[in-house]
Amino acid sequence: MNEHILDYAAVGVGPANMSLAALAHSVEGLRGAHLERRETFSWHPGLLLPEATLQVSLLKDLVTLVDPTSPFSFLSFLATEGRLYRFLAADFPAVLRTEFNQYLKWVADRLPSLTFGADVQSVDFREGAFQVRTGDSEVTARHLVLGTGLTPSIPETFRPFLGPSVFHSGEFLLRAPDVTGKRVVVVGGGQSGAEIVRHLATDAAPESVTWASRRTSFQPMDDSPFANDLYSPEYVRHFHALPAERKARLLERQKYTSDGIDLQVLQDIYRLSYRDEYLENNPGRLRFLPDCAVTALEGGPDEFKLHTESSGLDAPAMLAADIVILCTGYAYELPDFMATLAPRLRRTDGLLSVRDDFSLDWDGPDGNRIYIQNGARHAWGVADPNLSLLAWRSAVILNSMLGETRYQV
């Protein structure tokens, strides 16, 4: 093989591809490039709220469940940073997301295969290799690994209003809106909505905080043992082999094992509302509207009117707001740089066909694979966007690229 051709090029450095880089680090002779458009590592910086925690065990870090002896584990980070005993004594119910971000940055600093400030703009396939182009350079590799994460979902009706007063939850801390004396409406009843409502409710500054959700109640995440079994290699392999219609039905039924709200956050919000009502003499400052769909937005730039459809208790047909935060979730989109190769990818009912080593079914040579991380919920189930199987999925991909069982999966 031409020495200029790397074994693989991975696009995007979030936890998914960083897990791959961490596991690949000890594989002698394997040459990979990991390209990230951000100048430095940061994990969902717009939602890195100081009180937010992980929703999974600290053992679900980049490597531990596949290689507990790896120097890139969360425990290794704590030990190296000299805080293992203090961490134990602090006895957090869950790891703070700001600390997990520190851990991820710490790993990023130790992996020479990562390149930041490399925005991938196009990928071609020629003469047995992928040509991956950023603004000013090109990488040639035998395999391609897509790890570009999910894209914010913003309903069409809100798009014309996007700006400093109407924005997606993922931009919350980056926009840092001044909420003093403002009426804030948070749209969306999942985890991001709950975290933002808790954050705003703790702050006395907003005049009011209204939380509207289409869901019939603010539903907790099912974090029970049998639900957690869905996030195991055995289960996802079983899921992957099921027929497509069955998968679609199961995804709907299993939704609240990941898309529900962390119970602690719900309890915090409820107690903050109790405090406002009975201890601070501020009833109604926090307002909860389950079973309330926001169907349209009008007005701006200073005051917005939100039209709603609801069968919930006390829900108004119209809400007034100074700031609207759209906690409307995320979805996978094939990145624009795949435009040339997209027609060569096989789809079933419009969905990418994903093989059991996480490679996409395409019309190119079998010796050149396009792997996908966190873009195949339809094929692999509710665990796909989650941290739970990060290390396992990276190990499956590495084994496939190497053509041998380097890691037990």
Distances (CA, A) of 189 to 162, 198, 253, 293, 301: 20, 12, 17, 10, 25
Q: Does 12 bind ligand FAD (CB under 6 A)?
A: yes
Among 36, 171, 268, 276, binds ligand FAD (CB under 6 A): 36
Rounded to a whole number of angstroms, the minimum distance from the CB of residue 58 to ligand FAD is 11
Among 70, 73, 113, 148, binds ligand FAD (CB under 6 A): 148
Among 32, 177, 193, 335, binds ligand FAD (CB under 6 A): 335
Stretch that binds ligand FAD, among 34-42, 135-143, 240-248, 268-276 (CB under 6 A): 34-42
Q: Does 391 bind ligand FAD (CB under 6 A)?
A: no
Cβ atoms within 10 Å, residue 19 = 29
Q: Is 2 helix (H, G, I), strand (E, B) or coil?
A: coil
Q: Does 262 bind ligand FAD (CB under 6 A)?
A: no
Interior/surface letters 157-184, b for 16+ CB within 10 angstroms, e for the rest:
ebeebeeebbbbbbbbbeeebebeebbb
Q: Does 10 bind ligand FAD (CB under 6 A)?
A: no
Residues 6+ apart with CB under 8 A from 382: 230, 231, 251, 254, 255, 257, 258
Closest CA to 292 of 212, 230, 210: 212
Q: Does 64 bind ligand FAD (CB under 6 A)?
A: no
Q: Does 16 bind ligand FAD (CB under 6 A)?
A: yes
Rounded to whole angstroms, the Cα distance separating 47 from 58 reads 19
Which residues inside 68-127 make contact with ligand FAD, applying CB under 6 A?
Answer: 119-120
Rounded to a whole number of angstroms, the minimum distance from the CB of residue 405 to ligand FAD is 24
Among 113, 373, 394, 400, binds ligand FAD (CB under 6 A): 373
Q: Are strands 304-310 and 292-299 parallel, antiparallel or unpaired?
A: antiparallel
Cβ-based nearer residue to ligand FAD, 6 or 47:
47
Rounded to a whole number of angstroms, the minimum distance from the CB of residue 145 to ligand FAD is 11
Among 310, 386, 394, 400, binds ligand FAD (CB under 6 A): 386
Rounded to a whole number of angstroms, the minimum distance from the CB of residue 60 to ligand FAD is 7
Q: Is 202 helix (H, G, I), strand (E, B) or coil?
A: helix
Q: Does 193 bind ligand FAD (CB under 6 A)?
A: no
Cβ-based nearer residue to ligand FAD, 191 or 308:
191
Cβ atoms within 10 Å, residue 340 = 12
Among 265, 371, 385, 393, binds ligand FAD (CB under 6 A): 385
Cβ-based nearer residue to ligand FAD, 319 or 334:
334
Rounded to a whole number of angstroms, the minimum distance from the CB of residue 13 to ligand FAD is 6
Stretch that binds ligand FAD, among 40-48, 68-76, 237-245, 269-277 (CB under 6 A): 40-48
Residues 6+ apart with CB under 8 A from 146: 11, 12, 335, 338, 370, 371, 372, 373, 375
How far, in whole angstroms, is CA 12 from its chain's centroid? Answer: 13
Q: If you write DSSP's letter for every residue of 53-92 in order, what string do you get?
A: B-SS-TTSSSSTTT-TT-TTSHHHHHHHTT-HHHHHHH--
Cβ-based nearer residue to ligand FAD, 37 or 275:
37
Q: Does 63 bind ligand FAD (CB under 6 A)?
A: no
Q: Does 38 bind ligand FAD (CB under 6 A)?
A: yes
Q: If you write DSSP's letter for every residue of 141-195 in order, what string do you get?
A: EEEEEE----EE---GGGGGG-SSSEEEGGGHHHH----TT-EEEEE--SHHHHH
Q: Does 147 bind ligand FAD (CB under 6 A)?
A: yes
Rounded to whole angstroms, the Cα distance separating 399 from 61 reads 19
Among 20, 35, 209, 341, binds ligand FAD (CB under 6 A): 35
Closest CA to 95 of 55, 140, 150, 143: 55
Rounded to a whole number of angstroms, the minimum distance from the CB of residue 272 to ligand FAD is 20
Q: Does 394 bind ligand FAD (CB under 6 A)?
A: no
Closest CA to 14 of 170, 135, 214, 161: 170
Q: Does 51 bind ligand FAD (CB under 6 A)?
A: no
Rounded to whole angstroms, the Cα distance separating 130 from 111 reads 23
Among 22, 54, 166, 272, binds ligand FAD (CB under 6 A): 54
Tokens in use for 285? 């400052």
Among 167, 288, 337, 407, binds ligand FAD (CB under 6 A): 337
- Residues lying near ligand FAD in the complex (CB under 6 A) are found at 11-17, 35-38, 43-44, 47, 54-56, 119-120, 147-149, 335, 337, 373-374, 385-388
